[in-house]
Amino acid sequence: MIFLRYAVYRLLTMVMTLWVVSILIFVIINLPPGDYLSNQIAELRATGQAEGVAKAEFLRKEYALDKPLWQQYLIWVGFVPGPQGYSGLIQGDFGWSFEFDRPVSEVVGDALWLTVLVNVSAVLFVYIVALPLGVLAAARSKTWVDYSAAFVGYLGLATPNFLLALILFYYGNKYLGLPIGGMMDPSFEGQPMSWAKVQSVLLHLIVPTFVIGTSGAAAMMQRLRANMLDELSKPYVETATAKGLPPARMLTKYPLRMAFNPFVADIGNLLPAMVSGSVLVSVVLGLQTIGPSLLTALKSQDQFLAGFVLMFVALLTLIGTMISDLLLVLLDPRIKYGERAR
């Protein structure tokens, strides 16, 4: 019951944070002088294409870019009616992408869900790899297990992602017949969901997951190892040993549980790091995630597209943080939500 109350409280703070983030994003996007349309108008004027100018001017009015910034912000979020009435983020209208000349929702479209898919699988990969390796490295510290885990880890950290991607594509294709590039077989694009399509997507996911997750897994493994080593020297480990617990059970029940806190707390940090880290990888691998669109949008000051993508990443981060906060409360009885134990 108290937990539920805490969850609601956490959700409310998340919404507040998201609101503050939206202000920051809007300000940052508008920091460079000019916007996409004024740049375009200047260019059209210079080349003497008057009819284009008229269309651009129309769009400027349509999207309220002629209004002062603060009004633009309110219209963008949907707090006040714009030229077409209430149509902002809150109402589910993400705006118009000038670069692609289509609504933002159409531009990002499927990419949104593919982004979530790629990154969630990368996060899972990080945890699945880092957890056993980190624990093993700590339990057998300063033996060959520890050293080889560290070696593989540092190799993963040090290899540039795109290079790793190219290498994996080449060998994966040569020996395992893994597909190269894309999120699914081209024949499935735009098709309704089917078992074959899911299979194709999963097969295409293998290499990107590995590439995006490797460095994160290496870092996480080292962190877990360090935490575990700290915990292993604590007296309660001795108590557990003195009870007669077998080593594996002792390790997983006591020190791992303690070392798990930072591990869980990292979920929130991992998501944005992956999304922004995967932009370059997505470009190299030809993944239809929102990474490439974000890159183009930022380069051409396509403000609604950029704003939306950034808001989306922020949302992912906040959801990640919230999940880790809620998990921590469930995992650690010392964290008293609601009131303090006295």
Partner 1 sequence: MAPLISVEDLTIGFGASAPVVDGVSFEIPEGRTLALVGESGSGKTLTCRSILRILPGAAQLRSGKVLLAPENKDLLKISDRDIRDIRGNLISMIFQEPMRSLSPLHGIGDQVSEVLCLHRDAGRRDAKRSVMDMFDRVGFADPERTYRSYPFELSGGMRQRAMIAMAMVARPRLLIADEPTTALDVTTQAQVLGLIKDLQRQTEMSVILVTHDLGVVANMADDVVVMNRGRVMEAGPAAKVLSTPGHGYTRRLIAAAPLIPEVAKPANASGVADPILEMKSLRKTYKLRAGGWRKATSVTACRDINLSLVRGQTLAIVGESGSGKSTCARIALGAEVPDEGSEVWFHGKGADPLPVHDLARTERLRFQRQAQMVFQDPYSSLSPRMRIGATLTEPLEIHGIGDKQTRKEIAAERLKWVGLHKDMLSRYPHAFSGGQRQRLSIARALTLDPQLLICDEPTSALDVSVQDQILDLLEGIRDRMGLSYLFISHDLAVVSRIADEVAVMRQGVIVEQAPPDTLFYDPQHPYTKALIAAQPEPDIARPIDLALVAQGAGAPSSWPEMFRFDGQSAPDLRETSPGHKVRCHA
299 interacts with partner 1 by CB under 8 A: no
342 binds partner 1 (CB under 8 A): yes
- Tell me how far, at minimum, the Cβ of 261 lies from partner 1, in Å: 9
β-partners of residue 103 are: 96
Residue 174 or 334 having the CB closest to partner 1: 334
Is the Cβ–Cβ distance between 209 and 117 less than 8 Å? no
Q: Select from 32-40, 123-131, 234-242, 321-329 the region that touches partner 1 (CB under 8 A).
A: 234-242
User: E strands along the chain, which residues?
Assistant: 96-97, 102-103
In the complex, minimum distance from the CB of residue 135 to partner 1, in angstroms, rounded to a whole number: 16
Buried b (16+ CB within 10 A) or exposed e, 161-179: beebbeebbeebeeeeeeb
Q: What is the dihedral of CA 295, 298, 301, 307, to 10 degrees?
A: 110
Binding mask 254-273 for partner 1 (x = CB under 8 A): x--xx---------------
Is residue 252 a contact residue for partner 1 (CB under 8 A)?
no
147 touching partner 1, by CB under 8 A: no
7 part of the interface to partner 1, by CB under 8 A: no
Which stretch in 14-22, 38-46, 155-163, 330-338 sits in contact with partner 1 by CB under 8 A?
330-338
Specify the amino acid at residue 136.
L
Position among 3, 5, 23, 167 found at the interface with partner 1 (CB under 8 A)? 5
Confirm or reject binding of residue 4 to partner 1 (CB under 8 A). Answer: no
- Decide: is 253 part of the binding site for partner 1 (CB under 8 A): yes
Q: Tell me if 174 contacts partner 1 by CB under 8 A.
A: no
* Cα dihedral 1, 14, 113, 130 sign: negative
Residue pair 220/127 in contact by the 8 Å Cβ criterion: yes
CB of 219 to partner 1, least distance (A): 24
Token pair recorded at residue 187: 């024949």
Residue 276 binds to partner 1 (criterion: CB under 8 A) = no
Distance CA 259, CA 239 (A): 17
The residue among 108, 35, 21 whose CA lies nearest residue 292 is 108
